Amino acid sequence: MDTAAVVAEIAAVLDGRHADIRGRVRDELVPRAGMLAEVEELSRADYRERVREVLVETAGTGLTGLGFPTEYGGGGDIGASIAAFETLAMGDLSVLVKTGVQFGLFGGAILHLGTKRHHDAYLSDVVAGRLLGCFAMTEHGHGSNVAELGTTATYDPETDELVVTTSGPDAYKDYIGNAAAHGQMAAVFANLVVGGESHGVHAVLVPIRVDGSPAPGVRIADDGPKMGLNGVDNGRLWFDEVRVPRANLLNRFADITDDGRYESSIENPNRRFFTMLGTLVQGRVSVGGAGITASKAALAIATRYAARRRQFGTGEGEEMLLLDYGQHQRRLIPLIARSYALSFAQDELREQLHEIFSADPETVEEHRRRELESRAAGTKALATWHATRAIQECREACGGAGYLAENRFAALKADTDVFMTFEGDNTVLLQLVAKGLLTDYAGSFEDLDQLGMVRFVAGMAVDTVLERTSAHKLLERVRDLLPGGDSWDQEAEIRDPEYHLAMLRFREEHMLGGVARRLKRGVDNGGDAAEVFSAVQDHVIASARAHVERLVLEAFVARVEKMAEGPARELLAQVCTLHALAEIERDRAWFMEHGRLTIQRSKAISREVGALCRELRTSAVDLVNAFGVPDELLRAEDLIG
């Protein structure tokens, strides 16, 4: 086997159709690799300035503006912009996050929520990094509950202006990137009031600085030191009757007419709200991809260290390599496999987003948009949880050396921890996934809060809920393919991918049906909807996670099947098998409780996971090298050689 050729082929599979963009980003990052060490000695203020400088420099390359229309200096390719962002996560993560705030959130709000008047006025300056901005959604008193934001934007017909006000002590905007030092303008999310009537949350462009000082009526405070990402200037914003022109309303979905009337092409206010937020799904897709990249960097360091560090032994001759210990293999190699699995799931999600956002909005079915939002929410949750787990395991696997800042784990741990809660708290995001599964993105989906979901399901037959799910239909097909009828789970070959898929599909279907039955029974027995939901919430989260795990495995299996026959495909097929069996092993208690794993079969699966780790031991370094993280960005010179 030509090892170099195999690594190159797998690297090409991972880079996908955006390989040239990823290569350009790597080329930009390597000369700045020294920044990873420099920032450890900088003051917080100097670190922020360095990050701002790098952001503006990178904007000049065109790599940060790939998702914007070409007429404003962009590249007109949303898929390429996400691939670039994912790759940018190989470098300093404060640069990554500030890039996401500037181009993904602030610029994305103008692009997706605004119209031509806003595009013409601002996008060229945003893309070039001349106009730095904020995405001012989160409030101190309302984190994930965006619909209840306290900030108001009230239309004054006398002056034809919007008056933006922080309405209460907990309504100030908090954790806002670019706010504390560099932001000149903010896309402020506020409840729009026209003619004394509230029309729900809309976005308004509000200048927050004039010549470097807070704009009249705007108060700005610094959030101060954070656990990580201290190169990003997070801050707080208060608005004291700040007046802006009516034209500053981002009016793609709703507007105020010249005669002072509110109008919208989407009559239902809840549907309008979800449609507005749905256009910003790119942020969740990007954060999930960045988390996967961070896990790859950590695994590359820890695996290469384990392949050269010797410790203990048999007492006869040279000490053993860490990677030759079975437990060390068990610690790292399944995490490598999961990084591959999530990478391919991310690829499918990115392509789905690119296809939908590149199409004429009028031609995209609402169901497809909701499906995209659900998949983005679930993939982001699994990817960022994985990043946290993988980075911690890798840090421990490197012993005391992993605790040194020069070996990068300190920054990786600190800077990625927030990934689990920004762009949506992971647990809340999985509730969104479950809501979509239970209602199948029904026409009334946008009207359903958690309690509405309970009532919706309670009004249906449980079989109807199951019939709505693709897992139910897929499971029936798989049962036909595998031997043994209802004994398929005991008689199938342990390494058969159809067996793995069937197990995960069964789990998803069973969990989803259980949620539906418990919700319906609770309401039928006269229970309060809120109490019924609270009692079943853990089951809701578990069923959503099971759904996304199934999607991840399907993406991996499909990607292997597309590859040409040869050593690279054989190697990735092994990695896919390890990922699948490790997931079944992780949840084997559930499978045993529900009759799909005997004690003997469970033990056999654990043995198989161990065997696959041993088989993949000789390829472990090749697999992490295929991640394509340049050595300069890994730092850790004493660890990786």
Give the model's pLDDT for residue 369.
86
- The kind and range of the H/E element at 473 are helix 470-481
Q: Are residues 511 and 568 in the same domain?
A: yes
The reply to whether 69 falls in a domain is yes
The reply to whether 630 falls in a domain is no
Considering its fold, how many domains does the chain have in total? 3
128, 145, 174: which is the final residue of a domain? 128
Q: Are residues 49 and 142 in the same domain?
A: no
User: Rounded mean pLDDT of 204-226?
Assistant: 97
176 and 166 in contact (C-beta within 8 Å)?
A: no
Q: Check pLDDT > 50 for residue 551.
A: yes
Give the model's pLDDT for residue 447.
47
Q: What is the mean pLDDT of the chain?
A: 91
The reply to whether 10 falls in a domain is yes
Give the model's pLDDT for residue 441.
44
214, 240, 269: which is the final residue of a domain? 269
Q: Check pLDDT > 90 for residue 205.
A: yes
pLDDT tens for 43-75 read 999 999 999 999 999 999 999 999 999 999 999
The reply to whether 51 falls in a domain is yes
Give the model's pLDDT for residue 445.
38
Give the model's pLDDT for residue 485.
55
d(C-alpha 11, C-alpha 458), whole Å: 48
Q: What is the CATH number of the domain that holds 458?
A: 1.20.140.10
User: Rounded mean pLDDT of 612-624?
Assistant: 98
d(C-alpha 103, C-alpha 134), whole Å: 10
Q: Are residues 456 and 515 in the same domain?
A: yes
Q: Are residues 242 and 255 in the same domain?
A: yes
Q: Are residues 230 and 310 in the same domain?
A: no
Q: Are residues 147 and 118 in the same domain?
A: no
Q: Are residues 336 and 460 in the same domain?
A: yes
Phi, then psi, of 628 in degrees rounded to 5: 80, 20
b/e code 299-324 from CB counts within 10 Å (16+ = b):
bbbbbbbbbebeeeeeeeeeeebbbe
- The kind and range of the H/E element at 592 are helix 588-593
Check residue 139 and report its DSSP letter: B
Instruction: Tell me the range of 210-214, 473-477, 519-523 where mean pLDDT is highest.
Output: 210-214
Task: Please choose, from the candidates 88, 49, 43, the residue with its C-alpha nearest in 3D space to the C-alpha of residue 65.
Answer: 88
Q: What is the CATH number of the domain that holds 42?
A: 1.10.540.10
Give the model's pLDDT for residue 8.
97
d(C-alpha 334, C-alpha 612), whole Å: 9
Q: H helices of 189-322, where? A: 269-278, 282-306
Task: Please choose, from the candidates 435, 426, 335, 351, the residue with its C-alpha nearest in 3D space to the C-alpha of residue 387.
Answer: 335
Give the model's pLDDT for residue 426.
95
pLDDT tens for 475-485 read 555 455 454 55
pLDDT band at residue 486, thresholds of 50, 70 and 90?
Answer: low
Give the model's pLDDT for residue 364.
75
Give the model's pLDDT for residue 512.
87
Burial class (CB in 10 A: 0-12, 13-18, 19+), 590: middle
Pairing of strands 254-256, 262-264: antiparallel
- Of 175-189, 283-297, 512-526, 616-630, where does mean pLDDT reach its minimum? 512-526
Full residue range of the structural domain in which residue 594 is found: 282-625
Q: Check pLDDT > 90 for residue 317.
A: no
The reply to whether 633 falls in a domain is no
Q: Are residues 231 and 372 in the same domain?
A: no
Q: Check pLDDT > 70 for residue 259.
A: yes
The reply to whether 638 falls in a domain is no
Q: Are residues 335 and 379 in the same domain?
A: yes
**More confident position, 425 or 280:** 425
DSSP state string for 322-364 = GGGSHHHHHHHHHHHHHHHHHHHHHHHHHHHHHHHHHS-GGGS
Q: Which residue has the tokens 């309504």?
A: 171
- Altogether, the residues listed in the chain come to a count of 641
pLDDT tens for 585-601 read 999 999 999 988 999 99
Q: What does the block give as tokens for 618?
A: 């000789």
The reply to whether 640 falls in a domain is no
d(C-alpha 626, C-alpha 621), whole Å: 9
The reply to whether 631 falls in a domain is no
User: Rounded mean pLDDT of 335-341?
Assistant: 98
111, 128, 145: which is the final residue of a domain? 128
Give the model's pLDDT for residue 10.
98
Q: What does the block give as tokens for 341?
A: 């699995």
Distances (CA, A) of 491 to 470, 474, 480, 496: 24, 19, 13, 11
Q: Are residues 602 and 472 in the same domain?
A: yes
- Of 20-34, 139-153, 380-394, 602-616, where does mean pLDDT reach its minimum? 139-153
pTM metric for this prediction: 0.94
Q: Are residues 223 and 360 in the same domain?
A: no
Q: Check pLDDT > 90 for residue 288.
A: yes
Q: Are residues 411 and 353 in the same domain?
A: yes
- Of 330-334, 344-348, 501-505, 581-585, where does mean pLDDT reach its minimum? 501-505
**More confident position, 349 or 596:** 349
pLDDT band at residue 316, thresholds of 50, 70 and 90?
Answer: confident
pLDDT tens for 438-477 read 876 444 434 446 666 666 666 655 555 555 555 455 455 5
DSSP state string for 264-292 = ES--SHHHHHHHHHHTTTHHHHHHHHHHH
Give the model's pLDDT for residue 476.
58
Give the model's pLDDT for residue 147.
80
- Of 177-181, 297-301, 440-444, 497-501, where does mean pLDDT reach its minimum? 440-444
pLDDT tens for 16-49 read 999 999 999 999 999 999 999 999 999 999 999 9
Q: Which residue has the tokens 């741990």?
A: 413
pLDDT tens for 143-194 read 767 888 999 999 999 999 999 999 999 999 999 999 999 999 999 999 999 9
Q: Check pLDDT > 70 for residue 273.
A: yes
Give the model's pLDDT for residue 442.
47
Q: What is the CATH number of the domain that holds 192?
A: 2.40.110.10
